[in-house]
Amino acid sequence: MAEAGSVAEKVKQQADIVRVVGEYVRLKKAGKDFSGLCPFHQEKTPSFTVSPIKQIFYCFGCGKGGDVYNFVMEMEKCEFPEAVRLVAEKCGISIPRSKERSGEERKENQQRATLVEIHREAQTFFVKQLEGTLEGKAARAYLEDRGLDKDAVSRFGIGYAPSGGDTLLRHLKSKYNEKLLVESGLISRDQGGKLFDRFRRRITFPIANESGKVIAFGCRALGDDQPKYLNSPESPIYSKSNVLYHLDRAKEGIRRQDFVILVEGYMDAIAVARAGISNVVASCGTSLAEQQIKLLGRFTKRVVVNYDPDTAGQSATERSLSLLLEQDFEVRVLALPPVGDKKADPDLYIREKGAEEYQKRLKEAPSFVDYLIARARQMDLSSGEAKTRAVNFLLPYVQKIPNRILRSEWATRIAQHLRLEEPVLRAALSKAASERRSELKTQPELVPSAVKQAERCLISCLTQEGSLRGALAQRLQEDPGLYQGLEAEKIFAVLAVAALSEKPLQVTEVATVLEEDDRRSLFEILLKASEPVIWREVESCLAVLRIRRLKMQRDDAQRLYQQECVTKGIDSPESLQLRTVIQNLLDQLQAEEAAQEIEQKTKAKDERDPVLEEIQKKIENSLRDMGLRK
């Protein structure tokens, strides 16, 4: 195709096939070549190879191969001349204008080129307005107050659109006709046909395409004008669903670090980039679109979503998660804590807490599973119906995960954290999937029917008279983590406080501070309790709670370890430290389970020994005589 001495041949000689292919396929170094998942057929193991030495590509799976032009023609579904132009553009190679195929195509190309030129002119105009006018001085003061110094303003091309209604219009109309100016989106027309500047008294942020050409603007009101944020409308060169702010600067960092940080606004992206994290893009305040996700997929399949913490930001996060999961992305969510009494977006958090603290939070960002379960746990979980609603909040995300193993892990995690019967939950999820339903039907059997036996025993002890009640309350006060997260957590908390007060227990008074479900559980336990609890039983039940807690700590540590292995490697200091933590937890768990097994065997043997049974009865009678038993 590329004849010797032709423009196409010269472009091919200068082009870097790894750079071009890398915009579509996530490539990794493999010896002297690069490899990745083939974009031309579905595969899980990379069989697609790119040779920078030979400047060719080949897939050992489907057999497709060729040079850089073959690749671009396949990906873009274009003809050879267009492939030459695209490769030249991607590699920054200038080529002579070629003859257009038709008058219509020539007209469209000329229009797009002129619109890009208009935006370049507008960008220069806005920058000069910021730097050299009285209005611009006020805008600079605002930017400085937001932590943007002169270097940052210059680096990100920030400008200012003056308050006059036609300042930009007067600057451009001598060079371009009215129709093109309106199509650019920079100039608007009122109902009477009068032209005026779309952006007035606003900070301007240039939005560039992948090649770095300015194709639109995002603008923030300097005063109280509404809307606070105003973007360019769709145009022949700008479609908001196909563009991500800062991607032109971030793509190399994304490839290098193999993950991207997704934020909402321009200021957030700028703040993160200035913190030394180049692999950040913004969706510019719009809901993430499928085309934008596919665009990200050309560079990485790993995303950290860091949207604003307000209600709108949480909703945007959840919508984005659905789309990302459908495209098989590995997703983490960074929900920043408040700064004082303010909800913190990335910009505010970095300004107040610093880049180092943000980077620390970024490394610790949990998987989307943990984020969503935490959101579900904030809901009302006091009844079976309420827990079913929480599961229904999570279910759509479960159904969008292509990987069956991950879906199975989800079921286990949901059951653990929401205290549900796992076998029943799995059956309900499976049935909902087979019936293509996005929610579960309310099932009473989904929620454990009663408080576990160990909890019942300890609650009974906290309600009986005698020294055991205070001793157990003291143990629970010293280690409240033993009962936190239990079905009867609130009952334990109230009874422990009452026991430590050393006043006679008034069950009816205690019950008044409990919610209806907990109140019913308490009375049910008290009515079913028969024999007084002895300390040996208390110790055995406390061991059950310790084992439960150790298992949860082990599971959490193992999940964190897997995450660290993926992000930093199996031999990183963090991974090695977590491995030690997991081993310590396993040792503690083994010791606790062994002690419990011995206790159970001893108890069973004692219960069969009539002599010991008689001694136990005499001890109980003596305790009654002493007033320690009823």
Averaged pLDDT, 332-346: 91
Q: Whole-angstrom Cα distance, residue 35 to residue 24?
A: 12
Task: For the chain, give the mean pLDDT.
Answer: 83
Averaged pLDDT, 162-179: 93
Q: Strand 159-161's sheet: what is its strand order?
A: 159-161, 202-208, 214-221, 229-231
Q: Which residues of 283-305 are buried (b: 16+ CB within 10 A; e: fewer)?
A: bbbeebbeebbebbbbbbbbbbb
Query: Tell me, what's the pLDDT at 99?
Result: 53
130: amino acid identity, one letter: L
Q: Whole-angstrom Cα distance, residue 414 to residue 90?
A: 46
* Residue pLDDT, tens place only, 480-505: 888 887 778 888 888 888 888 877 77
Positive or negative, the CA dihedral 173, 178, 180, 184 is positive
Q: Give backbone dihedrals phi and psi of 283, rounded to 5 degrees, phi first.
A: -90, 5
Query: Tell me, what's the pLDDT at 357?
Result: 95
Is the CB of residue 169 less than 8 Å from the CB of residue 137? Answer: no
Which H or E run contains 59? strand 56-59
| Ramachandran assignment for 582, one of left (phi > 0), alpha (psi -120 to 50 degrees), beta (any other) | alpha
The packing angle between helices 610-625 and 573-608, to 10°, is 90
Q: Which residue has the higher pLDDT, 554 or 95?
A: 554
Averaged pLDDT, 381-397: 79
Q: Whole-angstrom Cα distance, residue 190 to residue 563?
A: 55
Q: Whole-angstrom Cα distance, residue 353 to residue 577?
A: 27
pLDDT band at 449 (very low <50, low <70, confident <90, very high): very low
Is the CB of residue 65 less than 8 Å from the CB of residue 77? Answer: no
Task: List 203's β-bridge partners, or say none.
Answer: 160, 220
Give the pair of three-digit tokens for residue 224. Answer: 């109280």
Averaged pLDDT, 140-145: 93
Instruction: Look at residue 614 and tell me whether its pLDDT is greater than 80.
Output: no
Q: Whole-angstrom Cα distance, residue 498 to residue 463?
A: 9
Lowest mean pLDDT among 78-87, 217-226, 605-614: 605-614
* Residue pLDDT, tens place only, 418-428: 777 777 777 77
Query: Tell me, what's the pLDDT at 629?
Result: 43
Is the CB of residue 307 less than 8 Å from the CB of residue 263? Answer: yes
Instruction: Look at residue 628 and tell me whether its pLDDT is greater than 80.
Output: no
Lowest mean pLDDT among 50-54, 155-159, 483-487, 532-536: 483-487
Query: Tell me, what's the pLDDT at 401?
Result: 74
Using only C-alpha atoms, what is the Rg of the chain? 33
Q: Three-state SS for 509?
A: helix
Q: Whole-angstrom Cα distance, residue 519 to residue 450?
A: 13
* Residue pLDDT, tens place only, 523-574: 877 777 667 888 888 888 888 888 888 888 887 788 777 767 766 667 778 8
Query: Tell me, what's the pLDDT at 101?
Result: 54
557: amino acid identity, one letter: A
Query: Tell me, what's the pLDDT at 53?
Result: 77
Residue with tokens 């954290």: 417
Query: Tell me, what's the pLDDT at 623?
Result: 44
The packing angle between helices 535-568 and 467-478, to 10°, is 10
Query: Tell me, what's the pLDDT at 119?
Result: 97
Query: Tell me, what's the pLDDT at 289?
Result: 87
Instruction: Look at residue 350 and tell me whether its pLDDT is greater than 90.
Output: yes
Q: Whole-angstrom Cα distance, residue 206 to residue 191?
A: 28
Averaged pLDDT, 138-163: 94
Instruction: Look at residue 627 and tell me whether its pLDDT is greater than 70.
Output: no
Q: Which residue has the higher pLDDT, 324 or 596?
A: 324
* Residue pLDDT, tens place only, 222-266: 877 888 889 999 999 998 888 999 999 998 888 788 899 999 989
Which H or E run contains 257? helix 247-257
The 8-class DSSP code of residue 445 comes to G
Averaged pLDDT, 32-38: 90
Which H or E run contains 264? none
Instruction: Look at residue 447 and tell me whether its pLDDT is greater than 80.
Output: no
How far CA 628 is from CA of 204, 502, 535, in Å, comes to 79, 15, 13
Lowest mean pLDDT among 26-40, 117-131, 307-321, 551-565: 551-565
Averaged pLDDT, 207-236: 90
Q: Whole-angstrom Cα distance, residue 565 to residue 559?
A: 10
